[in-house]
Structure 1
């Protein structure tokens, strides 16, 4: 199982100057290679032909052999990803504005976009918490980094492959890939159904409710600040808007991490699996009023599901996604099962019109998700029929 570990790089003045000179130069060179590739081959350039066309020029610009190879491979990988996104329809249908824009110009790399280093260009000293890294000013040794003891232990034991150098908000970071063994998934004795929402970020079938009111207030406050900055229309306002957007995303990710960590810990402790609704494409299926559109679009439900999924895999907890149809309208009583829209008279309450069962609507949805997961798990893990 591959995960990313981020550490903060703490350079001195000389080291920071070398890094500041190197990263924009690397990305400028990658943009040039991308333009050459697009002019010659459109979106179909490969590593071999780009090496033949661009390797000599990159060497003449002062890049080492390994650095030049990485720049070329990075450009080729970017076009491979773009072709895959177009093929899979992630940029819209043929002729759509977004797809035409992506197909009409070469890929450009931001000046401080992350650049990849392999073990030849970047080596780690975990005991001293330093790295040795290639730059245009020569190799920098004893470049310090800072991280938690847990992250340092993960790096020392499980780091594999390449690492990315990135500058964000004036700070330098290294993002390393670790490869840890996945534990075997245990057989669940029951399931925890999780209903995701906007007012309540997550509600479990046990009745635990993780409310989103604080996150909602924070997002509304950020929206007011964005409106004030957008009205100024200055370059500094635009830069501040980008910083605020990243800060808001980090805050939402922090909240989702806390919720997902708690849900997985409860499932692991009680020997149960975790079941969520399949919510792919919900923004296209659901119609909301104009004043609710921004709230729905900024709802981080997919990120919460992804966090729960990878934390469950890391802990060996069974994980399933089930059909979300009518989970908030179906009565969870086994002998009833009545499904009707008027079973949910308000957003927060459920009241079955047939048997009279009542309760919080989100908890009822979590119970229905749990019951569907039990049936789905039995179906998926049923033994194959004996050959005739």
Structure 2
């Protein structure tokens, strides 16, 4: 991706300078939205292939140290006696792109890879034994179902960011430093809004083993009782985490990438520059939004547990009430729980995703230039 200042690009487009070298110059680097979606989709697949084995091993280690009838395990802190002593639990699974909720009841009706009997003594031992006794495919267990939502959401998010960034800068004339903040936040807001009902539907299907007909009846009754807004239950905590994260991430990424280009005196970022800027920006954004991530994780698990309860489920706690409850139980430090695991997960995922995406955009940009030159 070209690292030159936006102003120089804009001047180039106006005056026609450099048109011989760049026949198809555009704010997006000469690629179409479809090509942006292909680049982001490829990056999403690569990120999932890289991150999924790490999360599978982590969850497998957690499952053997915290059986189903021992509280709610490591994914969250119990908040009621009824939940604390229940024989079922929920856990979050991450493929590097999104968090997905799995629900289990009495050790049954859960994913097969979660209930595997193999015992591990540590992370390295888990990798070795899974490869030896269960095969390579087990390291990517649970990946296909989550990609159904993760890849489209990522394509919407990254393509929307690029389009919004170009629109705000070239059409609206916004200040360069403000563009990534606004475009990143708006792009994530749109992606979360689109995906939120699908995630809720997925949770219902997993928790109750509903058929599609039963699911339609369930959704219809929920809409009739609480309105269409009920399909976006849990949207608020997700937005509070993801929108600030996205705004901070893109602001840091564009800034760090530009500084690296200036430091090495190059006009275009290399793969390693994008990788470094992505990892650093992901770590910074993860650190700054950690309290919202803790609340979002609790809220998501709480919603999953409510779906498994029989009878009339209780209304979930609001975000503010949940933050107060966390502080009352664990102090303010509770809002920053799980910092190291989050950094270990988020930084590499962001680095792989953005560097793959930038590489894909560069590939399409060069391809388009070659096509234009061949026509001349």
TM-score range, shorter chain: under 0.3
- Name the TM-score, length of structure 2 as normaliser: 0.25
Q: Whose helix fraction is larger, Structure 1's or Structure 2's?
A: 2
Q: Whose strand fraction is larger, Structure 1's or Structure 2's?
A: 1
- Name the TM-score, length of structure 1 as normaliser: 0.25
